[in-house]
């Protein structure tokens, strides 16, 4: 018989470490972004404004599913809603549940959905699971489970990530780019080499230490992102996240830190997460004082040149179609969002509101008044 536990306290989360790591080893969905250490680093930053909701399904006392969720109050089409989501950290590139290979018939997910619809019915309005890889078995299994629970399920593409397939070698890749791209890259290399003693470094494992982190923070603190409030050093919690992540995960061999140094001082950097055959670019920065020399582009080229010589298969530039990424590739990978509304009256109202054109709906007499009334009563 499958039993569900809802973990709501941090000490309960810590107590799951052994079960979590054992299930991760046998899960249909193994990723560095689903490891216990990654989730704990994320939750430490997110706990101030969210509530923990980690669901553990056990069959015969053995964990067969772990759903790392959290609860937060969010606006849906201008209306307040209690949402269950993954533990959504901005640096997470993918998200999913851990599901034992022995549970490929979706039965355990059906039990979880029924638990949410019944025992947890008053706790949430919308289940919104974002950044699930397009090829994840979870998508098909959730759809089958929702159908048996008579619950509507919506799947849509939510984000895209750009990637480069690491095949054919660096020179073949360069030849595939435009003459203008290659000329610009040569000019950047010349400008950088005129700055002084140039060194590109890659820190791995025990080399990722407090001194390495200080270099990263120094570059971040000199970047254009400071003015926009989105630098690593803009928030103490984000700094703590990267410190914890780098010191904990690097020991597993799943983190690399690249720096471009001029006369011993770092002027550009990139934090990478290694996830099997894929290298994810987690965060890139450069010192704005050297902007005219394009140190970020130079470092990107050096990183790619080394990756093409490695055994890795893919370089993922991260979620988001930023212009600087599009200079390097136009190949895209979508990640998906799954939405399931609760069956309560208010949840059904939210779903109806979500399915109609909001602009047209607001022109219906009384709708805006109703919306304002609900906001005042529920918030």
Using left for φ > 0, alpha for ψ between -120 and 50, and beta otherwise, residue 243 falls in: alpha
CB neighbours of residue 30 within 10 Å: 16
Question: Considering the domain boundaries, does residue 140 fall inside one?
Answer: yes
Q: Residue 81 and residue 65: Cα distance in Å, rounded?
A: 26
Could you report the per-residue pLDDT of 65-106, keeping only the tens digit for each? 999 999 999 888 778 999 999 999 999 999 999 999 887 777
* pLDDT (0 to 100) of residue 377: 53
**CATH code of 228's domain:** 3.40.630.30
Q: Do 107 and 221 lie in a common domain?
A: no
Question: Considering the domain boundaries, does residue 357 fall inside one?
Answer: yes
Q: Do 105 and 205 lie in a common domain?
A: no
Q: Do 155 and 27 lie in a common domain?
A: yes
Q: Residue 238, SS3? A: helix
* pLDDT (0 to 100) of residue 77: 73
pTM for the whole structure: 0.90
- Please state the φ and ψ torsions of residue 281, each to the nearest 5 degrees: -85, 105
Q: Do 21 and 48 lie in a common domain?
A: yes
Q: Residue 43 and residue 41: Cα distance in Å, rounded?
A: 6
Averaged pLDDT for residues 368-376: 53
- The angle, 0 to 180 degrees and rounded to 10, between the axes of the packed helices 17-25 and 36-46 is 130
Q: Do 18 and 53 lie in a common domain?
A: yes
CA dihedral 104, 110, 115, 118 (to 10 degrees): 180
DSSP state of 313: -
What does each C-alpha distance from 360 to 215, 320, 367 come to in angstroms?
A: 52, 30, 10
* pLDDT (0 to 100) of residue 350: 85
Q: Do 260 and 284 lie in a common domain?
A: yes
In this predicted structure, the answer to whether residue 314 has a pLDDT above a threshold of 90 is yes
Q: Do 213 and 291 lie in a common domain?
A: yes
Q: Do 358 and 265 lie in a common domain?
A: no
Question: Considering the domain boundaries, does residue 317 fall inside one?
Answer: no
Could you report the per-residue pLDDT of 98-137, keeping only the tens digit for each? 999 887 777 899 999 999 999 999 999 999 999 999 999 9
Question: Considering the domain boundaries, does residue 320 fall inside one?
Answer: no
Q: Residue 210 and residue 358: Cα distance in Å, rounded?
A: 50
Q: Residue 270, SS3? A: strand
Question: Considering the domain boundaries, does residue 131 fall inside one?
Answer: yes
What does each C-alpha distance from 243 to 208, 232, 239 come to in angstroms?
A: 10, 10, 6
| Range with the poorest average pLDDT among 7-16, 225-234, 283-292 | 225-234
Q: Residue 27 and residue 189: Cα distance in Å, rounded?
A: 44
Contact status, residue 246 vs residue 271, Cβ threshold 8 Å: yes
Question: Considering the domain boundaries, does residue 326 fall inside one?
Answer: no
Contact status, residue 96 vs residue 338, Cβ threshold 8 Å: no
Considering only the C-alpha atoms of the chain, give the largest distance between any 2 of them, rounded to a whole number of Å. 70
In this predicted structure, the answer to whether residue 362 has a pLDDT above a threshold of 70 is no
Could you report the per-residue pLDDT of 157-169, keeping only the tens digit for each? 999 999 999 999 9
Q: Do 155 and 172 lie in a common domain?
A: no
Could you report the per-residue pLDDT of 173-227, keeping only the tens digit for each? 999 999 999 999 999 999 999 999 999 999 998 899 999 999 999 999 999 999 9
Tally of structural domains, the chain? 2
Q: Do 100 and 214 lie in a common domain?
A: no
Question: Considering the domain boundaries, does residue 74 fall inside one?
Answer: yes
Q: Do 216 and 308 lie in a common domain?
A: yes
Domain membership of residue 24 as a residue range? 2-159+335-378
Q: Of 312, 327, 345, which residue sits at a domain end?
A: 312
Q: Residue 95 and residue 136: Cα distance in Å, rounded?
A: 10
Q: Which residue, chain included where needed, has tokens 């680093």?
A: 41
Q: What percent of the chain has pLDDT over 90?
A: 80
Question: Considering the domain boundaries, does residue 192 fall inside one?
Answer: yes
Q: Do 171 and 88 lie in a common domain?
A: no
Could you report the per-residue pLDDT of 21-62, keeping only the tens digit for each? 999 999 999 999 999 999 999 999 999 999 999 999 999 999
| Residue 342 CA from chain centroid, whole number | 25
Give 288: exposed, middle or buried? Use CB within 10 Å, 0-12, 13-18, 19+: middle
């Amino acid at each position: 018989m499958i039993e569900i536990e809802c973990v709501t306290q941090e000490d309960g989360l810590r107590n799951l470490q052994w079960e979590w790591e054992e299930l991760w080893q046998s899960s249909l969905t193994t990723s560095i972004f689903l490891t216990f250490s990654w989730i704990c680093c994320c939750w430490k930053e997110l706990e101030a404004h969210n509530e923990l909701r980690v669901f553990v399904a056990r069959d015969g006392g053995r964990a067969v599913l772990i759903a790392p969720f959290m609860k937060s109050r969010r606006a849906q089409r201008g209306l307040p809603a209690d949402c269950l989501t993954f533990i959504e950290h901005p640096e997470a590139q993918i998200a999913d549940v851990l599901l034992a290979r022995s549970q490929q018939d979706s039965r355990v997910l059906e039990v979880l959905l029924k638990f949410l619809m019944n025992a947890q019915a008053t706790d949430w309005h919308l289940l919104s699971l974002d950044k699930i890889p397009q090829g994840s078995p979870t998508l098909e299994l959730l759809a089958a489970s929702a159908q048996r629970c008579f619950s509507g399920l919506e799947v849509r593409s939510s984000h895209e990530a750009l990637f480069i397939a690491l095949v054919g070698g660096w020179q073949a890749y360069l030849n595939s780019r435009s003459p203008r791209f290659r000329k610009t890259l040569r000019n950047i290399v010349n400008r950088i080499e005129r700055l002084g003693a140039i060194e590109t470094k890659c820190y791995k494992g025990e080399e990722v230490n407090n001194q390495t982190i200080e270099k990263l923070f120094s570059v971040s603190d000199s970047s254009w992102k400071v003015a926009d409030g989105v630098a690593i050093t803009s928030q103490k919690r984000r700094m703590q996240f990267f410190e914890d992540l780098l010191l904990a995960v690097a020991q597993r061999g799943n983190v690399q830190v690249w720096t471009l140094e001029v006369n011993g001082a770092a002027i550009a950097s990139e934090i990478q997460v290694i996830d099997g055959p894929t290298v994810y670019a987690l965060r890139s920065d450069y010192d704005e004082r050297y902007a005219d020399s394009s140190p970020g582009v130079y470092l990107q080229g050096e990183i790619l040149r080394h990756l093409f010589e490695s055994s890795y298969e893919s370089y993922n530039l991260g979620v988001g179609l930023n212009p600087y990424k599009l200079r390097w590739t136009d190949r895209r990978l979508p990640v998906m969002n799954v939405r399931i509304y609760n069956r309560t009256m208010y949840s059904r109202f939210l779903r109806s509101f979500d399915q109609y054109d909001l602009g047209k709906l607001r022109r219906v007499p009384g709708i805006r008044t109703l919306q304002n009334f609900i906001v005042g009563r529920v918030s």
